[in-house]
Structure 1
Amino acid sequence: MSKAARTGRRQSGAAMDHVEADGAAMDHAVGHGDALAQREPAPISRRRLIGTAGAAGAAGLIAGGAAGAGVAEAVGTEPTALTTVGSAYIPFEGTRQAGIVQPAQARGHLVAFDLVKGAGRKDAAALLRRWSDAVRTMTAPDRPSAPAAYDDQVAYDAGPASLTVTFGFGRSFFGRTGLDSALPKALAPLPDFAGDRLDAARSNGDLWVQIGADDALVAFHALRVLQKAARDTATARWQMSGFNRTPGTTPRPMTGRNLMGQIDGTNNPKPSDPDFEQRVFVPAHGSPGWMADGSYAVVRRIRMLLDDWDHLTVARQERVIGRRKSDGAPLSGGTEFTPVDLGKFTADGSPAIAGDAHVRVAAAASNGGAAMLRRAFSYHDGIGSDGTPDAGLLFVAWQADPLKGFVPVQRKLDGGDGLSRFLRHESSALFAVPGGAGAGEYVGQRLLEG
């Protein structure tokens, strides 16, 4: 990745070309086999080895230097410096928190914490400062390791790999810290939906952390650091881990596919949209003041009933979605990014886009203009107790006000979306995500010290 490309990745406008990869379901390619492992490797550092793998763009890494040497031979070049996936970084400090408009990374962890009994506002402030200081260090381009008190050397050799960590507050946090007067109206409990099958133990929480990185070890390392820094103050309530397509696995930036094989995210809002800011972020002079430049995250674990879905023909799957499976083009005609023509009919007089097709029911035009920025991860947690894949989408939707974004759209989907027969909403949460931290500040400081 060139310097210009890395700079572009940090700019939200260009970054949104990749945000639509939410729900992508591509895993890392498998590395070379035993034959390569038997070769005598030349000395090579892990930092240079990662750069080589990024340049190769195809083969994954196997533990040990031998596989890395094999990759270098396979592409016929000398190992290169760490200038690709590992070197990409996203600053922690800023007006807004990272992890909202940046491209969804290849690996992600969503974790909710509850404050321990007796912990209050002062303890929460100290925790957010520890967390913020740790993330500030881990995301720096030249200082990817964590503070010594928490570091376990898991990511010792790696660059930041586009690491972002985003913090939010659940409704219960305000009562436990004596901050009821600062509770935002937009953090009202989400309504019940007919299709919900929610597990209370995997829903809600006092604090929320979203971790993303383009390297699995970097993401895991950040998770462990935050867990250790939370000891004696907060305990994990639930954790969910997911994945997306790894950068460089397609010949050009492309909208990702979800685990149903569908291109997913074509109509996601973009920063170039004239109303993007007002849809996603709380105004700089919004209410309450501590939420200025923040956003609200709806988090849902949505299981896909893949065995049922796979029994449909491709043509039937396309009718359920309203788009071609091969290239994501709407059934009303055109290419992937051609606007959906909801008024078009086929030669036999039937609607080109079925009345219960997902693209029709979810369209902003069908929901009074309501829209949200989706930035999600796919997940696969093995085989469920029913013998079917426990897999689907870790849905994260960002908006300035959930009552104007997620709620009206989900109500419409709940009542008339043909895709809902193949989905099961198993957990739900809503978090207030404040603006970013400046130099020396911690996330949430305006709330906790206001």
Structure 2
Amino acid sequence: MSPEASDRATDHSAVSRRRFVGVAGAAGAGGLVVGAAGGAVAFAGESGDGGGTALTHVGATTVPFFGRHQAGITTPAQAKAVLLGWDLEPGADRAAVAALMRRWSDTAARLTQGHPVDGDDQVAADAGPCSLTVTFGFGGTLFDKLGLAARRPAALKPLPPFPDDALDPARSDGDLFTQICADDGLVTFGAVRTLQKLAKGVARIRWQMNGFARSPGATAKPMTHRNLMGQIDGTNNPKESDPKFDEKIFVTEAAAPSPEQQWLTGGTYVVFRRIRMLLDAWDGIDKAHQERVIGRSKDTGAPLSGGGEHSAADFGKRGPDGELVIGANAHVRVAAPEFNRGSSMLRRGYSYHDGFGSDGAPDAGLLFVAWQHDPDDGFVPIQRKLARGDALSPFLRHEASAMFVIPPGCARGGYVGQSLLEG
């Protein structure tokens, strides 16, 4: 038995928060969870009352914190997400940031495995880990502030402006980034609050975005998420089984541009965009028009050229009228890797809804989160093409933006970012 398990077994004060005992097996309605090292890991447990329900299994599921890559990248999307950008406090130096990253990593490692932490205020009392993941990143400004400019990757630079951007600087960028995801909202809040308290004197929150996705067990069978336009979203994501998945999503040793940047091997980049969906305008067009804009069936997610959701789109197919079945400006065509020199990224976005404006229109849309080995080979060329000729663009407005480098995962006893901050 590990020290953590022994402590948990004897510390009855922790039982109300972490009463689930993990055993290897299926994850019930939550399905298998992809861990930080890329393997499929799942735990299912029963509550002390016996006769566990599907939600008991969802609550007991854990995702490993330690591994070659950070968790929360290839992990299937959980039901809740909190994205945070942080600014360093004046005077915070490299030693202070290194100490913060160690505190954050140690705490995240315990929370994600359902272990108690010092100062637990019991916000999520009686809940299990609920597939909690905590992912950390660094902004370009951090390197200058800490005297690490020589170790900043060349790809970590401001994103270029795109047509029709309406970005709010106060909700963009940042020195540090955290993504906190779980299948329970109280678990995410508890983790956010814990990290925020640990950061006092070193970093303060610059912006926060709260997102949601489909809850495990909400559908009769596992399915791709739907966005707030009602469209199945994420069908054409790269898969871990793809032959070149790792080199498209993660920085390989061969791709690290200099010895000073070998610390990034196994890491990645994330592009974040807050994309408001102009839902009143979208709802003003009929379903057939909506499907032509996207290039897929709204009911099934199948390409308009035929088949099922995961069928390959036949972009050359024409209808009886001689017109392309999937139009030249349909979203799926404009964004497809075959029309973008093979560029791709792993999208892991969340919906958001922040009320209604004075005009009655919903402030709602997509917290776009995309992972890639190099934004100049992923997000940037695809977004440029979308901005020029995507039929979906008139229904969207980009309101916040950021890019961060995501260090590789860490081994037990280490912390995320250690090879950079102590190298």
Amino acid at match of 2:417: G
Find out whether 1:381 has 2:354 as its counterpart: yes
Amino acid at match of 2:33: R
Query: What is the correspondence of 1:286-297 to structure 2 with a 5 Å cutoff?
Result: 286-287=255-256, 288-297=261-270
| 2:165 equivalent in structure 1 | 196
CA distance in 2, matches of 1:437, 1:105: 22
Amino acid at match of 1:265: G
Specify whether residues 13 and 327 from structure 1 end up closer, same or farther in structure 2 by C-alpha distance, changes over 3 A only. farther
| 1:28 equivalent in structure 2 | none
CA RMSD of aligned residues (A): 1.9
Deviation at 1:189, TM superposition (A): 1.2
Specify whether residues 331 and 13 from structure 1 end up closer, same or farther in structure 2 by C-alpha distance, changes over 3 A only. farther
Deviation at 1:236, TM superposition (A): 0.4
CA distance in 1, matches of 2:102, 2:255: 24
Amino acid at match of 2:242: D
Specify whether residues 186 and 152 from structure 1 end up closer, same or farther in structure 2 by C-alpha distance, changes over 3 A only. same
CA distance in 1, matches of 2:199, 2:390: 41
Match of 1:173 among 118, 130, 142: 142
Find out whether 1:9 has 2:33 as its counterpart: yes
| 2:118 equivalent in structure 1 | 148
Aligned 8 A contact 2:34 2:74 in 1: no
Report which stretch shifted further, 380-389 or 293-302: 380-389
Specify whether residues 445 and 285 from structure 1 end up closer, same or farther in structure 2 by C-alpha distance, changes over 3 A only. farther
Report which stretch shifted further, 381-390 or 210-219: 381-390
Between the two proteins, the alignment pairs up a number of residues equal to 390
CA distance in 2, matches of 1:48, 1:301: 42
| 1:89 equivalent in structure 2 | 62
Aligned 8 A contact 2:300 2:309 in 1: yes
Match of 2:383 among 410, 414, 426: 410
| 1:320 equivalent in structure 2 | 293
Which structure has more RCO (C-alpha within 8 Å, separation ≥ 6)?
1
Runs of 4+ in 1 over 6 A off after TM superposition: 12-16
| 2:193 equivalent in structure 1 | 224
Amino acid at match of 2:168: D
Amino acid at match of 2:217: G
Partner of 1:152, secondary structure, is coil
Partner of 2:374, secondary structure, is coil
CA distance in 1, matches of 2:230, 2:40: 23
Deviation at 1:53, TM superposition (A): 4.9
Aligned 8 A contact 1:13 1:272 in 2: no
Aligned 8 A contact 1:15 1:101 in 2: no
Find out whether 1:104 has 2:83 as its counterpart: no
Query: What is the correspondence of 1:73-88 to structure 2 with a 5 Å cutoff?
Result: 82=56, 84-88=57-61
Specify whether residues 362 and 120 from structure 1 end up closer, same or farther in structure 2 by C-alpha distance, changes over 3 A only. same
Aligned 8 A contact 1:88 1:161 in 2: yes
Partner deviation per Cα, 1:384-441 (whole Å, 9 max, x = no partner): 2442100000000000000000000000000000000000000000000000011111
Partner of 1:85, secondary structure, is helix
Query: What is the correspondence of 1:362-377 to structure 2 with a 5 Å cutoff?
Result: 362-377=335-350
Match of 1:357 among 330, 338, 358: 330
Aligned 8 A contact 1:414 1:420 in 2: yes
Amino acid at match of 1:280: I
Gaps of 5+ in 2: 1-21
CA distance in 1, matches of 2:251, 2:193: 31
Amino acid at match of 2:360: G
Amino acid at match of 2:272: V
Deviation at 1:9, TM superposition (A): 2.0
CA distance in 1, matches of 2:366, 2:97: 30
Partner deviation per Cα, 1:175-200 (whole Å, 9 max, x = no partner): 11111111101102110000211000
Gaps of 5+ in 1: 17-45, 56-81
CA distance in 1, matches of 2:49, 2:195: 28
| 1:63 equivalent in structure 2 | none
Aligned 8 A contact 1:8 1:14 in 2: no
| 2:229 equivalent in structure 1 | 260
CA distance in 2, matches of 1:384, 1:208: 28
Aligned 8 A contact 1:51 1:86 in 2: no
Partner of 1:122, secondary structure, is helix
- TM-score normalised by the chain length of structure 1: 0.84
Amino acid at match of 2:121: D
Aligned 8 A contact 1:116 1:235 in 2: yes
Partner of 1:312, secondary structure, is coil
Aligned 8 A contact 1:298 1:396 in 2: yes
Aligned 8 A contact 2:252 2:265 in 1: yes
